[in-house]
Amino acid sequence: MNTNLKISNVTKIYPGCVANDNVSLEFNSGKIYALLGENGAGKSTLVKILSGVIIPDEGKIYLNENNLNLKSPSDAKKNDIGMVFQHFNLFETLSVFENLIIDSDEQRESLREKIDLIMKKYNFPIDLDIPVLNLSAGQKQKVEIIRCLIRNPKVLIMDEPTSVLTEQETSELFLSLKKFSEEGILIIYITHKLKEVMQLCDEVAVMRRGKLVSVSEIKNENIESLANKMVGQNLKTIKKKKAKTSSDQLIKITNLNFTSEDPFETNLMDINFSVNRGECLGIAGISGNGQSELFQVLSGEIISEKKSIEFNNNYIGDLNPQERREYLMAFSPEDRLEQAAIPQMKIFENVALNNFKSSNFFNNGLINENKIKEHSKKIISDFNVNTDNIELKSQFLSGGNLQKLIIGRELITSPDLLICFNPTWGLDVGAINYIHETLIKINEQNKSIILISTDTDELLKLSDKISVIHKGKLSKIMNAEEVTSEKLGILMGGAN
Partner 1 sequence: MIIDINFVGLIIASIMASAVPLILASCGELITERSGVLNLGVEGMMIIGAISGFALMTVTGSLIVAVFGAMLAGVLISTIFAFLTQTLITNHVATGLALTIFGIGISAMIGKNFVGIPGKEFPVLFESLKDTIPLISPILFGHSIVFYFAFALPFMTNYFLKKTKIGLIVRAVGDSPESASNQGINVRLVRYACILYGGAMSGLAGAYLSMIYTPQWIENMTGGRGWIALALVVFSTWNPIKILIGAMIFGGLTIIQFHMQAIGVRIPVQFLTALPYIVTIIVLVVISRDSRKIRLSTPSSLGKSFHKDN
Residues binding partner 1 (CB under 8 A): 51-55, 72-74, 77, 85, 88-94, 98, 101-103, 131, 133, 261-264
Nearer to partner 1, 84 or 411 (CB): 84
Give all strands of the β-sheet with 309-311 in edge-to-edge order. Answer: 268-276, 249-258, 309-311, 314-315
Helices (H), 363-449: 369-382, 399-411, 429-444
Distance from the first to the final alpha carbon of the chain: 45
Distance CA 43, CA 20 (A): 8
Nearer to partner 1, 133 or 345 (CB): 133
Least CB distance from residue 182 to partner 1, whole Å? 28
Least CB distance from residue 54 to partner 1, whole Å? 6
Nearer to partner 1, 55 or 223 (CB): 55
Least CB distance from residue 148 to partner 1, whole Å? 11
Least CB distance from residue 74 to partner 1, whole Å? 3
Least CB distance from residue 63 to partner 1, whole Å? 17
Q: What is the DSSP letter of 134?
A: G
Least CB distance from residue 126 to partner 1, whole Å? 18
Q: Is residue 286 exposed (0-12), middle (13-18) or buried (19+ Cβ within 10 Å)? A: buried
167-173 contact pairs (CB < 8 A, 24+): 167/456, 167/485, 167/486, 167/488, 167/489, 167/490, 167/492, 168/489, 168/490, 168/493, 169/138, 169/141, 169/493, 170/196, 172/138, 173/141
Nearer to partner 1, 89 or 171 (CB): 89
Nearer to partner 1, 47 or 412 (CB): 47
Nearer to partner 1, 78 or 306 (CB): 78
Least CB distance from residue 77 to partner 1, whole Å? 6
124-131 contact pairs (CB < 8 A, 24+): 126/96, 127/96, 128/95, 128/96, 128/97, 128/100, 129/95, 129/96, 129/97, 130/95, 130/96, 131/92, 131/93, 131/94, 131/95, 131/96
Residue 224 CA: distances (Å) to CA of 208, 235, 240, 431, 460: 16, 9, 20, 18, 19
Q: Is residue 148 exposed (0-12), middle (13-18) or buried (19+ Cβ within 10 Å)? A: buried
Distance CA 365, CA 231 (A): 47
Least CB distance from residue 114 to partner 1, whole Å? 17
Nearer to partner 1, 263 or 365 (CB): 263
Which one-letter amino acid corresponds to residue 325? R
Adjacent-strand bridge partners of 465: 281, 479
Nearer to partner 1, 81 or 480 (CB): 81
Nearer to partner 1, 53 or 119 (CB): 53
Residue 213 CA: distances (Å) to CA of 22, 24, 101, 247: 11, 11, 40, 50
Least CB distance from residue 157 to partner 1, whole Å? 12
Least CB distance from residue 247 to partner 1, whole Å? 44
Distance CA 86, CA 83 (A): 10
Least CB distance from residue 259 to partner 1, whole Å? 12
Q: What is the DSSP string of 265-319?
A: S--EEEEEEEEETT-EEEEE--TTSSHHHHHHHHHTSS---GGGEEETTEE-TT-
Q: What is the DSSP letter of 154?
A: S
Nearer to partner 1, 130 or 175 (CB): 130
Nearer to partner 1, 12 or 192 (CB): 12
